Amino acid sequence: MATRYWVVSLPVQGSASAVWNNLQDQISKHSFDTPIYRFNIPNLRVGTLDSLLSLSDDLLKSNNFMEGVSHKIRRQIEELERISGVESSALTVDGVPVDSYLTRFVWDEAKYPTMSPLREIVDSIHGQVAKIEDDLKVRVAEYNTVRSQLNAINRKQSGSLAVRDLSNLVKPEDIITSEHLVTLLAVVPKYSQKDWLSSYETLTNYVVPRSSKLLFEDNEYALYTVTLFGRVADNFRTSARERGFQIRDFEYSPEAQESRKQELEKLVQDQESLRSSLLLWCYTSYGEVFTSWMHFCAVRIFAESILRYGLPPSFLASVLAPSAKGEKKVRSILEGLCDSTNSTFWKTEDEVGGGIAGLAGDTDAHPYVSFTINLV
């Protein structure tokens, strides 16, 4: 599938069919690998010259906005498919591949009545795409919030012993709690384990001898228990800190542990549900944005053709997908099908050392209307 298309219109002096046949003939002879399609534009309402000029000023900005939203949704789809392990498939518009929708474009009269003013149609299209973009922001924010909460919990469960949640490392039998005795949890640097084992009993009075037990090790630290009288716990903490040992605050609670487990399970379920619904929404919304964008392109090619070639509307609109190496040849063919007296006037500065900018802010000036659609 091509990802870059040109939408062009050529002036018609006599028969549009004759221009189309001539264009097909020239392409097949000189650039046979360039796909070419008719871009069927309905008879839209022209309005006044002032309204067309005013509309022309906004066309490039509106096109960039719609293209940007379509790319944003496409990138979101690609990310969600990658995370979900879903095999990427071609994006569609109502079941039709996007490239087929573009190359076989049919105007939706029911959605965009052709008798409506062009400005009204463009504003309607822009509003629909803007609403979808706003909805996307809300849905992505909701999904990212749950994802961040889950990541924070996972970091606590997989980080170093200095910061991670200890509840799944400590068993009930590891903790002694009585009227007088308490069990503390010490995080000891791995290189200081011998120092800990030789000194913990003397860090303060009333430490139960040989009460320290290794529970867990990671790459940096070891987790030990130590049992002592509750009344000296604060003194022990201070002395341990001075020796480079960290006493972690911990209270064993089966209820709290079960609550954290349920919270984690719920967040996992919420993330899966939000990811699935967001992906389905993106599939649908991409189709809606692409449909709106192509109708906008039809309005754009119509308005720019009127401003370029005058009234009554007499032009041939088409879609081409030239290869990178064939672009210069296709440009030459298109220029050859225009009025030769205007060709020099519309050449780019690189070609003639001067010139004027194209309509609607296009950077490349040609003797025919042309703009590019980037699908990715």
| Cα angle 312-314-58, degrees, rounded to a multiple of 5 | 80
Quote the pLDDT of residue 229. 95
Strand order in 221-229's β-sheet?
213-217, 221-229, 181-189, 246-248
Residue 39 lies in a domain: yes
Residue 164 lies in a domain: no
Do you find a cis peptide bond into 312, omega within 30 degrees of 0? yes
Q: How many domains does the chain have?
A: 2
In this structure, are residues 70 and 76 in contact, taking their beta carbons and an 8 Å threshold? no
Tell me: do 74 and 143 sit in the same domain: yes
DSSP class of residue 358?
P
β pairing state of 221-229 and 92-93: unpaired
Residue 41 lies in a domain: yes
Tell me: do 224 and 99 sit in the same domain: no
Quote the pLDDT of residue 171. 87
Task: Give the 3-state secondary structure of residue 163.
Answer: coil
Residue 131 lies in a domain: yes
Q: What is the CATH number for 224?
A: 3.30.70.100
Tell me: do 18 and 141 sit in the same domain: yes
Tell me: do 183 and 326 sit in the same domain: no
The residues facing 182 across adjacent strands are 228
Residue 16 lies in a domain: yes
Domain that holds residue 198: 172-251
Tell me: do 308 and 183 sit in the same domain: no
The residues facing 222 across adjacent strands are 188, 217
Quote the pLDDT of residue 363. 41
Residue ending a domain, choose from 217, 251, 285: 251
Residue 237 lies in a domain: yes
Tell me: do 15 and 126 sit in the same domain: yes
Tell me: do 119 and 184 sit in the same domain: no
Tell me: do 124 and 15 sit in the same domain: yes
Nearest partner of 259 among 164, 153, 143, judged by Cα: 153
Quote the pLDDT of residue 351. 44
Residue ending a domain, choose from 221, 251, 281: 251
Q: What is the reported pTM?
A: 0.77
Residue 257 lies in a domain: no
Tell me: do 107 and 46 sit in the same domain: yes
Residue 260 lies in a domain: no
- Which pLDDT tens digit goes with each residue over 311-356? 888 999 999 999 988 899 999 999 999 865 444 444 444 444 433 3
Quote the pLDDT of residue 160. 81
Tell me: do 184 and 330 sit in the same domain: no
Task: Give the 3-state secondary structure of residue 14.
Answer: coil
Q: What is the CATH number for 124?
A: 1.20.1460.10
Give the whole-angstrom CA distance, residue 293 versus residue 287.
10
Helices in 85-190 by DSSP H: which ranges? Answer: 98-103, 118-158
Tell me: do 244 and 276 sit in the same domain: no
In this structure, are residues 141 and 150 in contact, taking their beta carbons and an 8 Å threshold? no
Give the whole-angstrom CA distance, residue 242 versus residue 261.
35
In the chain (376 residues long), the average pLDDT of successive 10-residue segments reads 90 91 92 91 89 89 95 95 83 90 95 94 96 97 92 77 81 87 94 95 94 92 95 95 92 73 87 93 96 96 93 92 91 84 44 41 73 92
Q: What is the DSSP string of 29-96?
A: HH-TT--EEE----------HHHHHHHHHHHHHHHHHHHHHHHHHHHHHHHHHHHHTPPP---EETTE
Tell me: do 23 and 141 sit in the same domain: yes
Inter-helix orientation angle 16-30/327-336, to 10°: 150
- Which pLDDT tens digit goes with each residue over 23-41? 999 999 988 889 999 999 9
